[in-house]
């Protein structure tokens, strides 16, 4: 299953990250307007904005800001450098790709990309495909109806970061957030804070092998499974920490920790509620993985509440 998914993601990345339009200029701040813009403009002036997000991204200097001025459709975009895309409160900037990903990122190894306030709807690949870069921040976004909401693979960067905050990801035909399913993903440090991962066919969050992740203040509900950490490489020890979160009504299980081939993954959960989850159980441990639950959790009403060896840990 995972090898076929790797090939599928690689093919999608090639489509998603095709070269964009040639840049007309390089400015530290570039503007885009779906209503009044033109991609023939020099878009560093608020009075002459670009029309599409791709044209604005092509014109902005590395490390600069693309500011969306008004509501409308802005098309898919490929990002090859450090930048920030900013959508102000009250503005709806829609990215609805005809095929592939809405946002593809293949930035440099030290580049940081910030996506703030975007609305991504309906595509055949990932809403956001993070192939390379040092860090990606996804803040206050809505991602709906893709195969996967966010995919992060790392592309050979040794250590990289994914931050997802105040974001809704729902109705994916696969998973809301998929991390580390690549041949050499590097160490993926993931922070998921105040997010809703709901109605996704496979997982709310699926983290693999070298993932080191925190899920805090979030909801994983109505998915195939809620939150999962899996490993299949000997000597690899990923970690998933869950705090102040609700994992509920997922059909195939709530919180899962699983390993094969000598991998050693660890999941810790505290201050959280796990309830109404189906056949995989509320808390499920498989193989050599550890699943550790503090006594301040509520794990009730699942089918069953626990599967495998569920350990405990105390506050320090």
- Model confidence pTM above 0.85: yes
- Per-residue confidence (pLDDT) for residue 30, from 0 to 100: 98
The three-class DSSP label of residue 290 is strand
- Per-residue confidence (pLDDT) for residue 39, from 0 to 100: 97
Angle in degrees, CA 129, 175, 250, rounded to 5: 160
Angle in degrees, CA 221, 222, 224, rounded to 5: 110
Query: Phi and psi for 14 in degrees, rounded to 5?
Result: -60, -35
Encode pLDDT of 117-138 as tens digits: 999 998 889 999 999 899 999 9
- Per-residue confidence (pLDDT) for residue 209, from 0 to 100: 79
The three-class DSSP label of residue 106 is strand
- Per-residue confidence (pLDDT) for residue 23, from 0 to 100: 44
Contact status, residue 58 vs residue 83, Cβ threshold 8 Å? no
- Per-residue confidence (pLDDT) for residue 21, from 0 to 100: 47
Helix (H) or strand (E) holding 4: helix 2-16
The three-class DSSP label of residue 184 is coil
Contact status, residue 209 vs residue 233, Cβ threshold 8 Å? yes
CA distance 172 to 74: 21
CA distance 84 to 146: 23
Structure tokens at 298: 């509520």
* Cβ-proximal residues to 11 (8 Å cutoff; 6+ apart), any chain: none
Contact status, residue 267 vs residue 290, Cβ threshold 8 Å? yes
Exposure string for 98-122, b = 16+ CB within 10 A, e = fewer: eebbbbbbbbeeebbbbbbbbbbbe
Across the chain, mean pLDDT equals 90
Residue of 56, 192, 210 lying closest to 136 (CA atoms): 192
C-alpha pair distances (Å), 185 with each of 44, 176, 180, 269: 36, 18, 5, 25
Eight-state DSSP code of residue 23: P
Residue of 64, 53, 134, 155 lying closest to 95 (CA atoms): 53
- Per-residue confidence (pLDDT) for residue 14, from 0 to 100: 42
Angle in degrees, CA 118, 121, 123, rounded to 5: 125
Residue of 89, 92, 51, 44 lying closest to 65 (CA atoms): 44
Segments in the chain below pLDDT 50: 1-17, 19-23, 183
- Per-residue confidence (pLDDT) for residue 237, from 0 to 100: 76
């Amino acid at each position: 299953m995972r090898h076929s998914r790797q090939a599928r993601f690689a093919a999608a990345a090639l489509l998603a990250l095709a070269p964009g339009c040639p840049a007309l200029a390089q400015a530290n701040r570039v503007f885009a307007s779906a209503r009044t813009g033109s991609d023939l403009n020099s878009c560093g002036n608020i009075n002459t904005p670009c029309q599409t997000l791709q044209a604005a991204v092509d014109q902005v200097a590395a490390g600069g800001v693309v500011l969306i001025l008004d509501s409308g459709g802005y098309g898919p975009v490929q990002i090859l450098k450090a930048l920030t895309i900013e959508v102000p409160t009250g503005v709806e900037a829609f990215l609805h790709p005809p095929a592939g990903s809405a946002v593809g990122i293949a930035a440099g190894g030290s580049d940081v990309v910030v996506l703030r306030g975007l609305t991504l709807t309906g595509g055949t690949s990932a809403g956001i495909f993070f192939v390379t870069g040092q860090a990606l921040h996804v803040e206050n976004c809505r991602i709906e109806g893709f195969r996967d909401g966010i995919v992060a693979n790392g592309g050979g960067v040794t250590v990289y970061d994914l931050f997802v905050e105040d974001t809704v990801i729902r109705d994916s035909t696969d998973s809301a957030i998929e991390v580390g399913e690549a041949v050499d993903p590097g160490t993926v440090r993931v922070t998921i804070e105040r997010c809703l991962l709901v109605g996704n066919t496979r997982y709310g969050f699926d983290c693999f092998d070298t993932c080191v992740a925190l899920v805090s203040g979030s909801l994983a509900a109505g998915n195939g499974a809620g939150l999962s950490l899996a490993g299949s490489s000997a000597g690899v020890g990923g970690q998933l920490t869950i705090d102040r979160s609700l994992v509920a009504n997922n059909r195939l299980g709530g919180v899962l920790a699983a390993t094969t081939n000598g991998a050693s993954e660890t999941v810790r959960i505290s201050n959280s509620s796990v309830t109404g989850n189906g056949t995989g159980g509320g808390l499920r441990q498989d193989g050599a993985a550890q699943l550790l639950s503090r006594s301040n959790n509520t794990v009730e009403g699942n089918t069953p509440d626990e599967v495998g060896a569920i350990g405990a840990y105390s506050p320090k």
